[in-house]
Copies of this chain bind each other. A is one copy, B any other.
Amino acid sequence: MGLYIGVDVGGTKVLAAEVTADGVVRRTARRSTPGRRIDAALVETALTEAVFEVADGRTIDGVGLAAAGFVDAAGARVAFAPHLPWRGEDVRGRLTQRWGTPVALDNDANCAALAECTHGAAQDTCEVLLVTMGTGIGGALVLDGRIHRGTQGMAGEFGHMKVVPDGQPCECGGRGCWEQYSSGNALVRFARDRIGQDPTVLEQLCGGNPDLLTGPMVTEAAEDGDLVARQAFASVGGWLGVGLANLVAAFDPELIVVGGGVSAAGDRLLEPARTALTRSLVGTGHREIPPVVRAAFGPAAGVVGAAELIRSQARR
């Protein structure tokens, strides 16, 4: 079977995991990657420690890396990542040499899509649109059974498609980006702006301080019947459906998979999205509307997909 390790390289932590050929996570190891100022050598040391802790003296057959950033079309370099120190270095080459084992690299959304296609919600499906709703919106396209990476490896940046002219300012420098209306941040902003209008669960959860509000608190409050929290999901879910309709008009996928932290809310997010998708999509009388389903993998999507990435390369 071989020992294949997937590593999720995020802005604040590294998670490494041994993943079986069936997509099951066995041993894991974590390291923190503290702050934006950390340099590339420190991140690579954190990665090395986590990988060798998982290996525990065994021979490693390959390591896959899921990085939260732009990975070039060749899968070798992290061109840019807001929360990682790499700026075009040959990460794959450096770590292959350092670890003496094959290394593969892709961005976290593409790895999540690979996990869903191989072991998750999109098995045996050739045309898949994956949208991950975390802090912002990430995504990946599976076309004809393969991840569509684009000319520069930058396909799938759905979160920065503009849905409102001169709308909310975005961290990217633009305005009116989709993720300003449909994401974990959008969920929290919606709730924060309205907290106290109807003082209930939400206010208790954040101790009366809206600045401390988080996405999971909004999810929990909605479960407990908080009206503002439920409205927040209706808004964010509705905008999710509007953006999905745009992507369906362009790609015509067979299936839509929604992952990321916000998807933990399940149908509370997905029902308004389905309704808005049906209302917004062109030609609904003459086509099937693709199902919108929740991703099978939660926080493990990155490591499972990264392990599958290197395992599938080894198979060739």
Contacts and interface: CB of A to CB of B under 8 A. Distances in A.
A200 interface: no
Interface in A246-293: 246-247, 249-254, 280, 282-283, 286-288, 290
Contacts of A254: 151
B283 A154 contact: yes
Contacts of A148: 143, 251
Contacts of A290: 151
Interface stretch (A160-168, A186-194, A204-212): A160-168
Given A152-B288, A253-B150, A157 B80 contact: no
Given A162-B163, A162-B245, A165-B163, A155 B280 contact: no
B80 A283 contact: yes
A246 B151 CA distance: 16
A interface, by DSSP: helix, strand, loop or mixed?
A: loop
A158 B70 contact: no
Interface string A146-188: 0011111111111011111100000010100100000000000
A127 interface: yes
Contacts of A177: 282
Given A79-B286, A143-B143, A163-B165, A154 B252 contact: yes
A70 B245 CA distance: 17
Interface residues of A, number: 43
A242 interface: yes
B127 A150 contact: yes
B150 A252 contact: yes
A141 interface: yes
A287 B252 contact: no
A70 B154 contact: no
B246 A162 contact: yes
A286 B173 CA distance: 13
A194 to B, nearest CB: 19
A250 B156 contact: yes
Contacts of A160: 249, 282-283
29 contacts: A70-B283, A70-B286, A70-B287, A80-B283, A141-B251, A143-B148, A150-B251, A150-B253, A151-B290, A152-B252, A152-B287, A154-B252, A154-B283, A155-B250, A155-B251, A157-B283, A158-B249, A160-B249, A160-B283, A161-B245, A162-B163, A162-B242, A163-B165, A164-B165, A172-B282, A174-B280, A174-B282, A246-B246, A247-B250
